[in-house]
């Protein structure tokens, strides 16, 4: 809390630190309540402008009969000035509301599989994308497997056979977290892959995909070799544009 050691103003002691304090407080008083029209320089010099500001405040508050052009420690003018020394009000701007989630019931699901490699539960070589069929600016990219930091978006990778899925309830493109199951079997010198997507939001309904053969040469283990495993998949990125125009 601010304080002064001695009187400030006409015939006051006018200690520099006290004068500066009074000038700072006078500048807090609105002009409509007797404060200076032009802010005082806080130069610690009690001159004509500072004395005039004290007079104006006293006259506005109590009338000219009680003007003494001085601020005394614990005096009425000092207490009046202190009443304006309030903490700044914190103005909190409420955050903009998030745009409403855009949902749909038909989605295109596309996959990207790194060529010349078997799919594995470590997830370095498989992504899939969910796209709202009616509003294709609504897209979400998912990464399969257990690695913590997936590699960049695999745009040059080979795509699997896309599927159009009708959801039993309206969903957003980012509502497809769940589990994936793979079954791979070598046949005729190529690895044939089946993939089941099991989103939690679809009440454990399984979506089956066929994946294009993605090995260029037979596996050393020969025809009939197979692998099967499951792993979680996670949201990597989501984009949401404007809703489609009304018909």
Domain boundaries along the sequence of the chain = 8-82, 104-239
pTM confidence score: 0.51
From first to last of its 247 residues, what are the pLDDT tens digits of the chain? 789 999 999 999 999 999 999 999 999 999 999 999 999 999 999 999 999 999 999 999 999 999 999 999 999 999 999 999 987 666 778 888 877 778 888 988 887 766 656 666 665 667 778 889 888 888 888 877 655 555 555 555 555 667 788 887 888 888 888 887 777 777 766 667 777 778 887 776 777 766 655 554 545 555 666 777 777 777 878 887 666 565 5
Tell me the three-class secondary structure of 182-247, residue by residue: EEEEEECCEEEEEEEEEEHHHCCCCEEEEECCCCCCCCCCCCCCEEEEEEEEEEEEEECCCCCCCC
- For the chain, what's the residue count? 247
Cβ pair 75, 65 in contact under 8 A:
no
Residue 207, CB half-sphere, CA atoms under 13 Å: how many? 27
Is beta strand 70-71 parallel, antiparallel or unpaired with respect to 178-187? Answer: unpaired
Distance between CA 79 and CA 170 in Å, rounded?
A: 64
Cβ pair 44, 14 in contact under 8 A:
no
pLDDT in the model for residue 247: 53
Distance between CA 52 and CA 36 in Å, rounded?
A: 9
pLDDT in the model for residue 212: 59
pLDDT in the model for residue 67: 94
pLDDT in the model for residue 33: 93
pLDDT in the model for residue 244: 57
Sequence-distant (6+) residues with CB within 8 A of 187 are 223, 224
- H or E, element range at 62: helix 48-62
Nearest one of 217, 168, 210 to 190, comparing CA atoms = 217
Greatest pairwise CA separation for the chain in angstroms: 111
139 three-class SS: strand
pLDDT in the model for residue 52: 95
Distance between CA 196 and CA 200 in Å, rounded?
A: 13
């Amino acid at each position: 809390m601010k304080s002064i050691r001695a009187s400030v103003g006409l015939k006051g002691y006018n200690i520099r630190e006290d004068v500066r304090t009074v000038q700072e407080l006078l500048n807090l008083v609105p002009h409509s309540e007797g404060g200076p029209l032009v802010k005082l320089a806080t130069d610690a010099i009690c001159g004509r402008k500072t004395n005039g500001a004290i007079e104006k405040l006293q006259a506005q508050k109590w009338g000219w009969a009680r003007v003494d052009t001085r601020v005394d420690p614990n005096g009425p003018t000092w207490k009046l000035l202190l009443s304006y020394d309030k903490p700044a009000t914190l103005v909190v701007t409420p955050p903009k509301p998030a745009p409403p989630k855009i949902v749909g019931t038909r989605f295109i699901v596309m996959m990207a599989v790194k060529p010349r490699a078997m799919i594995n539960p470590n997830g370095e070589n498989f992504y899939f994308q969910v796209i709202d069929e009616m509003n294709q600016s609504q897209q979400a990219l998912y990464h399969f497997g257990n690695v913590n930091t997936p590699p960049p978006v695999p745009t040059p990778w080979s795509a699997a056979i896309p599927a159009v899925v009708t959801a039993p309830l309206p969903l957003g493109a980012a509502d497809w977290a769940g589990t994936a199951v793979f079954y791979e079997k070598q046949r005729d010198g190529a690895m044939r892959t089946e993939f089941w997507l099991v989103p939690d939001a679809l009440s454990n309904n399984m979506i089956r995909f066929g994946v294009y053969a993605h090995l260029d040469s037979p596996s050393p283990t020969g025809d009939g070799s197979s692998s099967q495993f499951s792993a979680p998949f996670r949201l990597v990125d989501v984009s949401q544009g404007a809703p489609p125009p009304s018909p």
